[in-house]
């Protein structure tokens, strides 16, 4: 069996660990593995890389991806199906192992199913926004990276009190990541794209917390509407200075946590066994605390909104 590994969309901590684990299983079992550089765009052009097992072992805990990704929508091109089949035939590729987030899994897997290209996908995005799975690889590592930043903020906040500290996380247009970080860090407020809020309420809450505790910590997702105006208006309405920290893309490049390295290996084992058994299409999903192989595509609908009860609890509503 020969498998081509493809990373589609954004990178996430744990991808390297999963690639290394799959390659180790395949090579130990007498199978062959290659990696596509530059996602599906590279795969359609036959840019395939032999995977160096010793290099993979050294890089398995690092963030990013040893295989470059791409968001180029090449699979929507009219000749994409035949180009994919031709590359797979020319390189004796039997199946694909695909890493991707919400967009990739929604759009790529139905095409692969239609074109008869056997594939197993691993949900990988720090945003944890994929419907059909409770967890996506990389989420825990991104949370841990943010918590380290929170500890630094709390240290300086305690030394120099009387301020509001805002921490901007990644997460795209969904607030799952920001909510998880706010909950774990004990933030005093959290702002998410899915839920509206009043700026006067936030100012009053921040003022009360600063008076009681010396400083206030507010976590928010990068796509909360009107961030610039919030940063400008909140100090004026609360009468308290504000310090802003944006984690940015460094959060995606965090080292893989113990949990993500474990999940990566377990996902890879399920994927390898499924491909060996001849599965035509599937996704490894975590549901109710257990990894399972979901045959076929993922749900096309969006994931349910972030936990509103938890959102209200953090915000004291």
Rounded percentage of the chain residues whose pLDDT exceeds 90? 93
State residue 269's pLDDT score.
Answer: 98
By C-alpha distance, which of 20, 48, 71 is closest to 260?
Answer: 20
Query: Is 310 exposed, middle or buried (CB count within 10 Å of its CB: 0-12, 13-18, 19+)?
Result: middle
Q: Regarding the domain delimited by 140-253, which CATH topology (the fold level of the hierarchy) does it fall under?
A: Rossmann fold (3.40.50)
In which band, very low, low, confident or very high, does the pLDDT at 128 lie, cut at 50, 70 and 90? very high
Q: Regarding the domain delimited by 2-138+256-295, which CATH topology (the fold level of the hierarchy) does it fall under?
A: Rossmann fold (3.40.50)
How many DSSP H helices and E strands does the chain contain?
A: 11, 11
Structural domain boundaries of the chain?
Answer: 2-138+256-295, 140-253
pLDDT at 56 over 90: no
Query: Is 110 exposed, middle or buried (CB count within 10 Å of its CB: 0-12, 13-18, 19+)?
Result: middle
Q: Count the Cβ atoms, other than its own, within 10 Å of residue 232.
A: 11
pLDDT in tens, 259-315: 999 999 999 999 999 999 999 999 999 999 999 999 999 998 999 999 999 999 999
pLDDT at 201 over 90: yes
pLDDT at 202 over 90: yes
State residue 54's pLDDT score.
Answer: 83
Residue pair 296/282 in contact by the 8 Å Cβ criterion: yes
- Strands 290-295, 281-287: pairing is antiparallel
Look up the pTM and report it.
0.96
Strands (E), the chain: 2-7, 32-36, 48-50, 95-100, 119-123, 163-169, 189-191, 215-221, 241-246, 281-287, 290-295
Residue pair 175/193 in contact by the 8 Å Cβ criterion: yes
Strands (E), 82-200: 95-100, 119-123, 163-169, 189-191
Topology alike, domains 2-138+256-295 and 140-253 = yes
Q: Which two tokens stand for residue 44?
A: 């359609």
State residue 58's pLDDT score.
Answer: 87
Q: Count the Cβ atoms, other than its own, within 10 Å of residue 130.
A: 27
pLDDT in tens, 76-100: 999 999 999 999 999 999 999 999 9
pLDDT at 59 over 90: no
State residue 52's pLDDT score.
Answer: 85
Mean pLDDT over the full length of the chain: 96
For 42, how many CA atoms within 13 A lie in the half-sphere containing its CB?
20
For range 159-180, the mean pLDDT: 97
| Residues designated as active site | 127
pLDDT at 220 over 90: yes
State residue 55's pLDDT score.
Answer: 82
State residue 27's pLDDT score.
Answer: 92
In which band, very low, low, confident or very high, does the pLDDT at 185 lie, cut at 50, 70 and 90? very high
- Tell me how far the alpha carbon of residue 247 is from its chain's centroid: 15
Residue pair 122/98 in contact by the 8 Å Cβ criterion: yes
For 206, how many CA atoms within 13 A lie in the half-sphere containing its CB?
31
By C-alpha distance, which of 271, 236, 300, 248 is closest to 19?
Answer: 271
pLDDT in tens, 227-262: 999 999 999 999 999 999 999 999 999 999 999 999
State residue 64's pLDDT score.
Answer: 92
Please state, in angstroms and rounded to a whole number, the distance separating the CA atoms of residues 298 and 213: 45
């Amino acid at each position: 069996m020969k498998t081509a590994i493809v990373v589609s969309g954004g990178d996430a901590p744990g991808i390297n660990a999963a690639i290394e684990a799959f390659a180790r299983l395949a090579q130990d079992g007498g199978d062959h593995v290659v990696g596509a550089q530059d996602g599906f765009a590279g795969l359609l052009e036959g840019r395939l890389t032999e995977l160096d097992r010793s290099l993979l072992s050294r890089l398995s805990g690092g963030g990013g991806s040893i295989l470059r990704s791409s968001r180029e929508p090449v699979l929507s091109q009219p000749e994409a199906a035949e180009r994919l089949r031709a590359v797979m035939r020319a390189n004796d590729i039997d199946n694909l192992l695909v890493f991707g987030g919400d967009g990739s899994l929604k759009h790529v897997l139905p095409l692969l199913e239609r074109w008869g290209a056997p594939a197993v996908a691993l949900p990988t995005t720090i945003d944890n926004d994929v419907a059909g799975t409770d967890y996506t690889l990389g989420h825990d590592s991104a949370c841990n990276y943010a918590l380290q930043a929170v500890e630094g903020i709390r240290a300086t906040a305690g030394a120099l009190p009387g301020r509001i500290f805002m921490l901007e996380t990644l997460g795209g247009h969904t607030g799952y990541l920001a909510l998880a970080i706010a909950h774990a860090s004990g933030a005093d407020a959290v702002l998410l794209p899915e839920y509206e809020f009043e700026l006067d309420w936030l100012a009053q809450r921040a003022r009360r917390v600063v008076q009681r505790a010396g400083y206030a910590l507010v976590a928010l997702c990068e796509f909360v509407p009107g961030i610039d105006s919030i940063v400008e208006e909140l100090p004026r309405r609360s009468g308290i200075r504000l310090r802003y920290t944006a984690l940015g893309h460094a959060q995606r490049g965090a080292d893989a946590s113990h949990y993500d390295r474990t999940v990566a290996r377990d996902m890879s084992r399920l994927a390898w066994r499924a491909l060996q058994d001849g599965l035509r299409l599937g996704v490894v999903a975590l549901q109710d605390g257990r990894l399972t192989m979901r045959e076929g595509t993922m749900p096309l609908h969006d994931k349910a909104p972030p936990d509103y009860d938890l959102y209200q609890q953090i915000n004291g509503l």
